[in-house]
Amino acid sequence: MKQRINRIINQGRLKRLSKRLRQVNAWSASCRALSDEALQAKTAEFQQRIQQGASLESLLPEAYAVVREASWRVLGMYPKEVQVLGAIVLHDGNMPEMQTGEGKTLTATMPLYLNGLTGKGAYLITTNDYLARRDCEEMTPLFEWLGLSITLGFVDEPNYEYAPGEKKAIYAHDIIYTTNGRLGFDYLIDHLADGQEGKFLPPLNFGIIDEADSIILDAAQTPLVISGAPRLQSNLFGITKMFVETLKGEQHYDMDDKAKAIWLTDEGVEAANTYFGVDNIYDAPHFDLVRNINLALRARYLFESNLDYFVYDGEVVLIDRVTGRMLPGTKLQSGLHQAIEAKEGIEISQDMSAMASITFQNLFRQFDKFGGMSGTSKLGEKGFFDLYGKVVVQIPTDKPVERIDHPDLVFKDNVSKNEAIIERVCALHDINRPVLLITRTAEMAEYFSMQLFERDIPNNLLIAQNVAKEAQMIAEAGQLGAVTVATSMAGRGTDIKLADGVKELGGLAVIVSEHMENSRVDRQLRGRAGRQGDPGLSQIYISLEDYVVQRWGKSKLLEEGQLEKISSQGLHESQLFQRRVRQIVARAQRVSEEQGIAHREMGNEYEKSLSAQRDIIYEERDRVLKQWDVKQMALSELAREVFQRAYRTQDLNTEMNLRNYIYQHISFQYTGDVTDINLNEENAVVEKLAMLFEQRLAAQQRLIKDNYMFMRFVQKSILKAIDSNWIQQVDHLQQLRGSINNRQNGQRNAIFEYHRVALASFETMREAIKVDIINNICQSVATFDKKGDLVVHFPN
């Protein structure tokens, strides 16, 4: 029923799109009739019309027709109607679902061209450097022929140092191919610039995200973090680990497996109070202790060795939740990694403080408009809509899909399953049919590869190669007799062309050794076969020992003793058992997907505070950077506000306190009188301080002489105050997130509590920024380096 409704909605959308497709088609004949020069001249003409107020929407039909014709002349490919449909959806800022091999790279050129005409930047964002570079190189001749500038968004060399102005030049191009990671880091770096000359990123105008589900659903919550100094290492990991080991479930703690949340019960809180000898661990001074208890609880009860991580060579190596892949070099944030290390009794590594961070989800929100494409968007539609308000339009394939997706083959355990898989690969190989065998983990890929070699079947093993190599190897998976063993993400984005004679054998056979944690990934894997109407097959093997079942499955069949009763033979003969196992696996996968969604929504909730605060701070920074007039900065008013607050909170009505205040905040050389005024009158004291401030300001100006340099000095002082406080705040919010826990302290809602504390700390930070601005201006020392550039030495 739901599927039928979906189909009807989709057909409605396609129908509206086809009207616009016809408008594009209507221009093709006249474009074909143009000479090369006349076709190329269209770009300048469009740009002029945009300047005269024409909307992109009104130009779309003709512009897309121009790109189609140019693509034919330059690349020898004429974008098909289904590609034009996808291109229209992208321009609307929505998400076309287009199968693997349908030509998404070429599809994207149409909206990139149209939006690139404005000169405000059009971005193609993909998952890795290799794909960005490959697609950029392939499409460069087309865009250059049409007269738009195009570039790769980064210099593809390890540890490349950008010269001043180099990034600005990159981002000045009409069209930019880059990756989500590169763009995200540049966004953060751009907002750490301490002068207009250090800024390089224009406002983000239009973007297209390739492999959108992987970037904006799966990775959306993984924040990009610019790390700063090593954090002061907590020495509580060991003791809190020992404490949580004394706890008894239900009595002392409660948890919600699905939401990955765990918290102490009232009795648990009592136990903690006794263990640590405090009145109430939730009292303010024990902030760090509570944080560490929570970390230790999560490490011990929510993270399972060999499911969530491995201990390898004395290190904790994470396992990707979605793909089951190992993630060497990736660490959990805010002390969680260290808590797991403590749990495992291995050496505790250094935790770095976060300096700036953003999730991809919020990065993409910075775009005026963005669309995304992938082969499996539909299964993520709810996510796309909830997070971004995007709809998914399923674009039909150019040719009907000929691939046969077989129902899952069922086994009782992994031993019998793996044997059957090897037999199957051998049988396919005997007739020279190419096979792509996909596993969840690198270990399993290695295992199969070895087993196949032992049977004299040469095979390509795709693990731990670099992406370029993987792409090259996967591209060859369609050769006669080729056997390729790979993990799920290997070679994504590269399509597999069939060699001569393979079609006759039935095309590529995709064999998957178990269900992945998300059915979207399963579908991507099946899509490896059957591109552009090729024949092919896909087959997933399942058993009750599969990872998804172990991780997420709950069933009587799995309970002790039950399984042993069935013999493998019996399983094969019993339709009932087969159906039960299929159900268990399917349910486990659904639980896993729901968990993924819950996790994402939770992360999204938490991110809201940070993101709102970041917007305010970044806006404020930009305002300061653009401000060229010291008078406009209203420093006197700011100083009065700071002094007034100080008077009320720091008892400046005594001579000693007032003198100290002046030393610490305005001038440590002050020798003048402070008793010439009535210290009990707030106004008099504030005015006095304000006057001293004006004197300091004037002294700084005399010292720096040059008006422009003086303005830069003030600007840097303000930015320094904003940044040093904001950097602390980012780190604080990250830690806070780890320390706020469900139902702690009187049943308050965790997220509500988090937002409340986050807001309070933001207000505190704003006051601290004001104080620091006045401090920096009064107490910094300005010097000039050899080149005559201003160097400011800040007081702290």
Residues of this chain that bind ligand ADP (CB under 6 A): 77-80, 83, 98, 100-106, 495
Question: Pick from ligand ADP, Mg ion, none: which does 213 bind, CB < 5 to 8 A by kind?
Answer: none
Residue 101 assigned to a binding site: yes
**What backbone torsions phi and psi does residue 626 show, to the nearest 5 degrees?**
-90, -5
DSSP string over 45-92: HHHHHHHTT--HHHHHHHHHHHHHHHHHHHHS----HHHHHHHHHHHT
Closest distance of CB 101 from Mg ion, Å: 8
Angle at 39 between CA 33 and CA 44, to 5 degrees: 150
From 96-104, 691-699, 730-738, 744-752, span contacting Mg ion (CB under 5 A): 96-104
Nearest to 395 by CA among 48, 762, 81: 81
Closest CB to Mg ion among residues 43, 524: 524
Tokens of 756: 């409340």
- Collapsing DSSP states into helix, strand and coil, what is residue 734? helix
Residue type, 374: S
Q: How far apart, in whole angstroms, are the C-alpha atoms of residue 742 and residue 754?
A: 10
Question: Pick from Mg ion, ligand ADP, none: which does 78 bind, CB < 5 to 8 A by kind?
Answer: ligand ADP
Residue 102 assigned to a binding site: yes
372, 334 Cβ separation under 8 angstroms: no
Question: Pick from ligand ADP, Mg ion, none: which does 182 bind, CB < 5 to 8 A by kind?
Answer: none
Which region, left, alpha or beta, applies to residue 523 given φ > 0 means left and ψ of -120 to 50 means alpha? alpha
Closest CB to ligand ADP among residues 101, 372: 101
Alpha carbon 569 to chain centroid distance? Answer: 47
Residue 134 binding Mg ion, by CB under 5 A: no
Q: How far apart, in whole angstroms, are the C-alpha atoms of residue 520 and residue 381?
A: 11
Closest CB to Mg ion among residues 324, 491: 491
**What backbone torsions phi and psi does residue 739 show, to the nearest 5 degrees?**
-100, -20
Question: Pick from Mg ion, ligand ADP, none: which does 495 bind, CB < 5 to 8 A by kind?
Answer: ligand ADP
Question: Pick from ligand ADP, Mg ion, none: which does 79 bind, CB < 5 to 8 A by kind?
Answer: ligand ADP
Closest distance of CB 392 from Mg ion, Å: 17
Residue 126 assigned to a binding site: no
Closest distance of CB 372 from ligand ADP, Å: 13
Question: Pick from Mg ion, ligand ADP, none: which does 77 bind, CB < 5 to 8 A by kind?
Answer: ligand ADP
Closest distance of CB 475 from ligand ADP, Å: 10
Closest distance of CB 135 from ligand ADP, Å: 8
Residue 665 binding Mg ion, by CB under 5 A: no
Q: Regarding beta strands 352-358 and 224-230, do their DSSP bridges make them parallel or antiparallel, or are they unpaired?
A: antiparallel
Closest CB to Mg ion among residues 138, 308: 138
Closest CB to Mg ion among residues 124, 452: 124
485, 462 Cβ separation under 8 angstroms: yes
Q: How far apart, in whole angstroms, are the C-alpha atoms of residue 119 and residue 108?
A: 17
As beta bridge partners, residue 316 has: 311
Burial of 211 (0-12, 13-18, 19+ CB in 10 A): buried
Residue 133 binding Mg ion, by CB under 5 A: no
Residue 530 assigned to a binding site: no
Distance between terminal CA atoms of the chain?
A: 66
Closest CB to ligand ADP among residues 502, 584: 502
| Torsion angle in degrees (nearest 10) through CA of 317, 415, 539, 593 | -40
Task: Go through the chain and tell me how many residues it has.
Answer: 796
- Give the nearest residue (CB) to ligand ADP: 103
Closest distance of CB 142 from Mg ion, Å: 16
Closest CB to Mg ion among residues 292, 494: 494
Closest CB to Mg ion among residues 104, 252: 104
Closest distance of CB 99 from ligand ADP, Å: 7
Q: How far apart, in whole angstroms, are the C-alpha atoms of residue 419 and residue 513?
A: 11
Closest distance of CB 378 from ligand ADP, Å: 15
Tokens of 677: 């005024």
**Site mask for Mg ion (CB under 5 A), range 483-502, x = bound:** ----------x---------
Closest CB to ligand ADP among residues 494, 604: 494
Tokens of 364: 């993409």
Residue 83 assigned to a binding site: yes
Tokens of 626: 């653009």
Question: Pick from ligand ADP, Mg ion, none: which does 510 bind, CB < 5 to 8 A by kind?
Answer: none
Closest CB to Mg ion among residues 371, 493: 493
Question: Pick from ligand ADP, Mg ion, none: which does 101 bind, CB < 5 to 8 A by kind?
Answer: ligand ADP
Which of 13, 42, 68, 104 touches Mg ion by CB under 5 A? 104
Closest distance of CB 187 from Mg ion, Å: 24
Alpha carbon 7 to chain centroid distance? Answer: 31
Contacts 24+ apart (CB under 8 A), 610-616: 610/357, 610/730, 610/733, 610/758, 611/358, 611/359, 611/362, 611/365, 613/729, 613/733, 613/758, 613/762, 614/358, 614/362, 614/730
Residues 6 or more apart whose CB falls under 8 angstroms from that of 158 comprise: none
DSSP single-letter state for residue 532: G
Question: Pick from Mg ion, ligand ADP, none: which does 106 bind, CB < 5 to 8 A by kind?
Answer: ligand ADP
Closest distance of CB 712 from ligand ADP, Å: 48
By CB under 5 A, the count of residues binding Mg ion is 2
Closest distance of CB 215 from Mg ion, Å: 12
Closest CB to ligand ADP among residues 496, 633: 496
From 104-112, 177-185, 250-258, 506-514, span contacting Mg ion (CB under 5 A): 104-112
- Residues found near Mg ion in the complex (CB under 5 A): 104, 493
Give binding residues as ranges.
83, 101-105, 495
Give binding residues for ATP as ranges.
83, 101-105, 495
